[in-house]
Structure 1
Amino acid sequence: MSTGVFREILETTSILAKNRRILVATTRVELAKRYSGSILGMLWVPLFPVLFLSVYLFVYLVIFKMKFPGYSQLDYVVYVFCGLVPYIGFMESVNSGCHAIKQNIHLVKNVMLPIELVPVRYVLSSMVAQLVGMGVLLLLVALNGSLSLHLTWLPILMILQIAFLVGLVWILAGLAVVVPDISYFVNLMTLLLVFISPIGFKPDMVPSGLSFMVDMNPIYYMLEVFRYSLFYGGFPPLHIGLPYVLMCLVSFGLGAVFFRRFRNILVDYE
């Protein structure tokens, strides 16, 4: 990594740190705005992950009659929820975040607000739903008797996940200003990934000829590290944990460099 690239990453990180109070305040505004006008309002924050889980489980348990050998139904519910909760954070972040710059360009042009903060607040507001879902998941884990000291890794896993999502959303939000079709592609990909990612099935259930769909899927590594902390009660093996850490750091670094080099173009683009 060249000195210039490393400096750009550090400068972007410094901007986030210096403006953390503004970031928190604007995240609250974004969260309130997201549910304003709806009848249930902020109740959608806990309702969405629960309803999403219910629909997913209905499809796999009732329609497909999915069963894992040696797993009880509660085991399967916890297994699915361990994958679905972080996936909700991913899906909400990228689907909403790709519109971040295009929908808020007035904030950057007319107010002294660093453009780097705009996509980040979308990620943070989306992670609130994941945090609520994580609370429900911890109750299920307790009922299932899977609680362990490995839960202490959760904050680190989530910080890495946020770094991954921030980097990805920086890139997507920037591209969506120039190529609006990006948002349609992102919506399609998040719909596809919910089916091909090992949320309701195990990776070893995938035919060997299609195993590359799991191995090359970054979401697989994200889901598995959370499962090891919450469900398996152990440290993820090196071939799971190392790719997860690397992809999170690389995503943040690439996103930071991309955004710093193209931010002036994005602000002036009509």
Structure 2
Amino acid sequence: MSDKISRDISSALRTIWRQRRLLINTTRADIQNQFAGTALGLLWVVLGPMTLLALYTIIYAFIFRVRVPDYTVQEYILNVFSGLVPFLAFSQALAMSATVMRRDQKLLFSSYPNIFIPIKAVLTSYVIVGVGTLLIFLGDLAVSEVTWTLLLVPIVMLLQMIFSIGIGMIIALFSVVLKDIEVMIQYITIALLVITPIAYTPEMIPSGLKPLLYVNPLFYFTYSNQYLILVNELPPIHIMVIATFLSASAFFTGLWFFTRARQALNDLL
């Protein structure tokens, strides 16, 4: 059984590597199509997160006057943005994964590799991370001390994207047989927004509620991201180990699951 699993995963990885240009080109086309017909086009990639950041800033920094010890108001806003950008990418990846199999149903009956369908949905969602990370770098340069740890932020984002691809492949398959997934994703996203430390820090959470942090996979990526940017040190080793483990296990599980179930797709759609 383990040999069969290894062969399935190896075959999928070879397909991804050999046809990577096809994946990149179709992802680029999806990004362009996503904003086709809008007046501002790809500017929405910048305007979307900036609008939410402005909303968060007004509510938490100026209305509720949330203050984090040892953080200035500007650093607090940067901390919020550092958590908000990866969260938006992940939440959009969940939403797109839940609909991509029906939206791109025609690709299942073509020579296009089936496994690319959920992968490109996640990659399309993560275009916001590239723009957001650049804005974070500029913000860190303006309001905080810039150190070498900033160079590790893209690595954390890459780990989260790999984690999202694994989860996205599983969600894409389940959404074929369970349409409720699309509705459930909306509530899961809201729940994750509440329990992910974006507008607050883990230290601000009452001890009785802290276990909620550790069952939230986004916590490990968000916390690592914010730690590298604001604390200017490497995150605790156990946080990074868990983040890496979650990323690898989700990716390979999703890869195997999708590869094994793809034979049934034609019968279900």
TM score, norm. by length of structure 1: 0.95
1:63-86 deviation per Cα after TM superposition (whole angstroms, max 9, x unaligned)? 322111221101101111111111
Alignment-mate amino acid for residue 48 of structure 2? F
Distance in 2 between residues matched to 1:10 and 1:153, nearest whole Å:
28
The Cα shift of 1:58 comes to: 1.7
Answer whether contact 1:105 1:267 (CA < 8 A) is retained. Answer: no
Distance (Å, rounded) in 1 between the aligned partners of 2:255 and 2:35: 29
The answer to whether 1:189 aligns with 2:188 is yes
Report what 1:164 is aligned to: 163
Q: Paired residue for 2:143?
A: 144
Which amino acid in 1 is paired with 2:78?
A: V
* More off after superposition, 54-63 vs 256-265: 54-63
Q: Which residue of 2 aligns with 1:232?
A: 231
2:111 partner amino acid: M
Q: Does 1:247 align with 2:246?
A: yes
Aligned twin of 1:130: 129
Deviation at 1:56, TM superposition (A): 1.6
1-structure distance, mates of 2:61, 2:217: 26
Alignment-derived partner of residue 199 in structure 1? 198
In structure 2, the residue matched to 1:92 is 92
Q: How does 1:1-270 map to 2 (within 5 A)?
A: 2-109=2-109, 111-270=110-269
Q: Deviations over 1:173-232 (max 9, x none)?
A: 110011011011112111221122110111122222211111111111010111222221
Q: Which amino acid aligns with 2:11?
A: E
Deviation at residue 46 of structure 1 after TM alignment: 0.8
> Gapped runs of 5+ residues in structure 2?
none
Letter in 2 for 1:112: S
CA distance in 1, matches of 2:263, 2:240: 36
Checking the alignment, whether the CA contact within 8 Å between 2:150 and 2:229 is kept in structure 1 is yes
Provide the rounded CA distance (Å) in 2 between the counterparts of 1:215 and 1:55: 27
Detail structure 1 runs of 4+ shifted over 4 Å in the superposition.
none
Deviates more, 1:7-16 or 1:85-94: 7-16
Contact 2:118/2:172 (8 A) holds in 1: yes
Question: Residue type matched to 1:188 in 2?
Answer: Y
Compute the RMSD of aligned alpha carbons: 1.4
The amino acid that maps onto 1:160 is: L
Q: Which amino acid aligns with 1:94?
A: L
Q: How far apart in 2 are the matches of 1:11 and 1:181?
A: 31
In the alignment, the residues of structure 2 paired with residue 11 and residue 155 of structure 1 have an alpha-carbon distance, to the nearest angstrom, of 28
- Give 1:124 deviation, angstroms: 1.1
**Compared with structure 1, are the counterparts of its residues 225 and 262 closer, same or farther at alpha carbon in structure 2 (3 Å cutoff)?**
same
Task: Spell out, residue by residue over 1:6-50, the C-alpha distance to the aligned partner (whole angstroms, 9 max, x if none).
Answer: 332222221111111111111111111111122221110111111
Number of aligned residue pairs? 269
8 Å CA contact 1:120, 1:166 repeated in 2: yes
Counterpart of 1:201 in 2: which secondary structure?
coil
Kindly provide the amino acid, as one letter, of the partner of residue 185 in structure 1.
M
| 8 Å CA contact retained: 2:93, 2:168 | yes
Which whole-Å deviations, capped at 9, do the CAs of 1:81-109 have from their partners, x for residues lacking one? 11111111111111112211111111121
Q: Secondary structure at the match of 2:125?
A: helix
For 2:261 and 2:60, the matched residues in 1 are separated by: 44
Q: Is the contact between residue 196 and residue 213 of structure 1 (CA under 8 Å) also seen in structure 2?
A: yes
Structure 1, gaps ≥5 residues long: none
Q: CA deviation at 1:118?
A: 0.8
